[in-house]
Amino acid sequence: MISEQNISRLIGGNVTDTDGHKIGTIGQIYVDPDTGRPNWATVVTGLFGTSESFVPLRDAETTPDGDLQVPYSKDQVKDAPRVDSDAELSDAEEDRLYEYYGLMGASSHDHSPTEVTGPAAATETGNVDDVAEGYDTSGPTTDDAMTRSEEQLRVGTERVETGRARLRKYVVTEHETVTVPVTREEVRLEREPITDANASDALSGPDISEEEHEIVLTEERPVIAKETVPVERVRLDTETVTDTETVDVDIRKEQIELDSDTRTTDR
């Protein structure tokens, strides 16, 4: 059970399931104005915190790390009925939420939840301070000492998805011009005079005749052949870059002053 004293420390903290897996962060806490007990919390989920779902706090607990642990899965919380988190819960909306989480009969309908959006808002509503008053001022439930409290910052980091990078391979066609040396045969007519060396060849045939002589001419032509070969390997990798960010936040501290009409000593 979450007590009213824990509300201000929970705002903005993590919400986890029973296995310690993060569901989201606490956006707002709703308390019963009659008892001051927190009974609902809104959980901010989604990549950029764009979704806000209600989760009951009846069976919720705080972990040693200060997280809020609920007995529900992330999908259960994300799929809860959509309810406007900027207004009070109506009886019908509360019944619908209790029915979704299997908590039928938990709603008494004798109150309207009061919204608490942060440490300052918890003070403005009056609910938390009214209930905790007996612990910090003289009264029937306190001793003769007063407790001074203050808020302390718990600074940490969370890893969120900021973008994606992917490799995509596609085909492009490029035109290439290649110069290829080729050879060819051409006809050349050669004439030689009759000499003693070729006279016998020249007179070996008939005196007068008709003849044909044929030769085959050849030439080289370019031949194109393509083959696919691997040229390089490309992969995605990440590197961690460390930056610093300055966060401004207001914290509250209690101060104790003495109002007395007698002489006192501070020890």
pLDDT given at position 86? 66
Backbone φ and ψ of 86, nearest 5°: -95, 10
* pLDDT mean across residues, the chain: 79
Read off the pLDDT band of 112 (50, 70, 90): very low
Is the confidence at residue 161, as pLDDT, over 70? yes
What is the Cα–Cα distance from 60 to 39, expressed in whole angstroms? 10
- 152: in domain: no
pLDDT digits (tens, 9 = 90+) for 169-223: 999 999 999 999 999 999 999 888 989 888 888 888 787 888 888 999 999 999 9
Tokens of 45: 């989920």
Other beta carbons within 10 angstroms of residue 152's beta carbon come to: 8
Strand partners, 69: 16, 61
- 59: in domain: yes
Is the confidence at residue 132, as pLDDT, over 90? no
Tokens of 143: 């001793």
Domain count, the chain: 1
Is the confidence at residue 121, as pLDDT, over 50? no
Best CA proximity match to 234, nearest among 179, 170, 189, 142: 170
What is the Cα–Cα distance from 33 to 37, expressed in whole angstroms? 8
Is the confidence at residue 260, as pLDDT, over 70? no
- 41: in domain: yes
pLDDT given at position 139? 45
Domain containing residue 49: CATH number: 3.90.50.10
pLDDT given at position 90? 81
- 114: in domain: yes
- CB burial string 217-255: b at 16+ within 10 A, e below: eeeeeeeeeeeeeeeeeeeeeeeeeeeeeeeeeeeeeee
Read off the pLDDT band of 116 (50, 70, 90): very low
In the chain, pLDDT over 70 holds for what percent of residues? 77
Read off the pLDDT band of 94 (50, 70, 90): confident
In the chain, pLDDT over 90 holds for what percent of residues? 19
Maximum mean pLDDT: which of 67-71, 88-92, 102-106:
67-71
- 208: in domain: no
What is the Cα–Cα distance from 15 to 42, expressed in whole angstroms? 10
Task: Give the rounded distance of the alpha carbon of 113 from its chain centre.
Answer: 32
What is the Cα–Cα distance from 265 to 267, expressed in whole angstroms? 6
Is the confidence at residue 130, as pLDDT, over 70? no
pLDDT digits (tens, 9 = 90+) for 6-36: 777 788 889 999 888 999 998 888 887 777 7
Read off the pLDDT band of 103 (50, 70, 90): confident
Structural domain containing residue 64:
4-134
Other beta carbons within 10 angstroms of residue 54's beta carbon come to: 25
Tokens of 80: 């809860």
pLDDT given at position 34? 75
Residues in the chain: 267
CA angle 241, 245, 250 (to 5 degrees): 155
Q: What is the DSSP string of 132-148?
A: HHHHHSSSTTS-S----
- 26: in domain: yes
What is the Cα–Cα distance from 62 to 29, expressed in whole angstroms? 14
- 158: in domain: no
- 177: in domain: no
What is the Cα–Cα distance from 22 to 104, expressed in whole angstroms? 26
3-state secondary structure of 84: coil
pLDDT given at position 142? 53
Read off the pLDDT band of 143 (50, 70, 90): low
Q: What is the DSSP string of 183-211?
A: -B-----------TTTHHHHTSS-SS---
Maximum mean pLDDT: which of 69-73, 90-94, 144-148, 159-163:
69-73
